[in-house]
């Protein structure tokens, strides 16, 4: 017989959910208000939120999508599609493919910017090693008399 995990049936408090997902209690409440969760968060008899494993996993998905720059509006749409269930998989796929393309474009831009940073580091290291770092500073023109 499988052992039933009491946590999976009862859920965890909002404070514990925040700790486990790495987001603040405020963010968890915001995700719920903004329509970013796929299921209604359960409540205790006293009205306190109880997060189940599915909720925690979904919040992790949301935070990762947000960390990659997906707009809240798009995450909301994705959550709506997931919550709606079977039949919209093509739309979900298209949404993820578009976001992947956006992330790849950002990565390309970051790589290009990193190349510039690496170049500047090489210049500074080279000049410092050669002892002519004073040539790195732009000279300031003398103040113009008025």
Mention every residue, 6+ apart, whose C-beta is less than 8 A from residue 145. Answer: none
What local confidence, expressed as pLDDT, does residue 4 receive? 36
**pTM greater than 0.85 (yes/no):** no
**Structure letter (DSSP) for residue 131:** T
Neighbours of 136 (CB within 10 A): 12
What local confidence, expressed as pLDDT, does residue 10 receive? 83
What local confidence, expressed as pLDDT, does residue 9 receive? 63
What local confidence, expressed as pLDDT, does residue 146 receive? 57
What local confidence, expressed as pLDDT, does residue 36 receive? 93
Q: Number of C-alpha atoms within 13 angstroms, CB side, residue 30? A: 10
| Cα–Cα dist 101/146, whole Å | 55
What local confidence, expressed as pLDDT, does residue 50 receive? 96
The encoded tokens of residue 50 equal 């109880």
The angle that helices 25-33 and 53-67 make with each other, rounded to 10 degrees, is: 90
DSSP letter string, 80-123: HHHHH-TT-HHHHHHHHHHHHHHHHHHHHHHHHHHHHHHHHHHH
Query: Please, is 81 exposed, middle or buried when counting C-beta atoms within 10 Å of its C-beta (0-12, 13-18, 19+)?
Result: middle
The encoded tokens of residue 23 equal 């987001």
- Divide the 146 residues of the chain into consecutive groups of 10 and give the mean pLDDT of each group: 48 96 96 92 92 96 97 97 97 98 98 98 94 78 63
What local confidence, expressed as pLDDT, does residue 144 receive? 63
């Amino acid at each position: 017989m499988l052992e039933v995990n009491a946590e999976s049936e009862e859920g965890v408090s909002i404070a514990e959910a925040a700790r486990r997902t790495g987001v603040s209690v405020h963010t968890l409440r915001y995700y719920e208000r903004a329509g970013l969760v796929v299921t209604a968060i359960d409540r205790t008899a006293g009205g306190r939120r109880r997060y189940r494993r599915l909720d925690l996993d979904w919040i992790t998905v949301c935070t990762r999508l947000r960390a990659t720059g997906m707009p809240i509006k798009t995450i909301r749409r994705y959550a709506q599609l997931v919550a709606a269930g079977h039949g919209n998989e093509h739309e979900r796929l298209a949404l993820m493919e578009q976001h992947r393309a956006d992330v790849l474009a950002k990565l390309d831009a970051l790589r290009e910017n990193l190349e510039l940073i690496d170049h500047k580091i090489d210049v500074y290291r080279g000049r410092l090693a050669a002892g002519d770092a004073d040539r790195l500073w732009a000279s300031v023109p003398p103040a113009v008399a008025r």
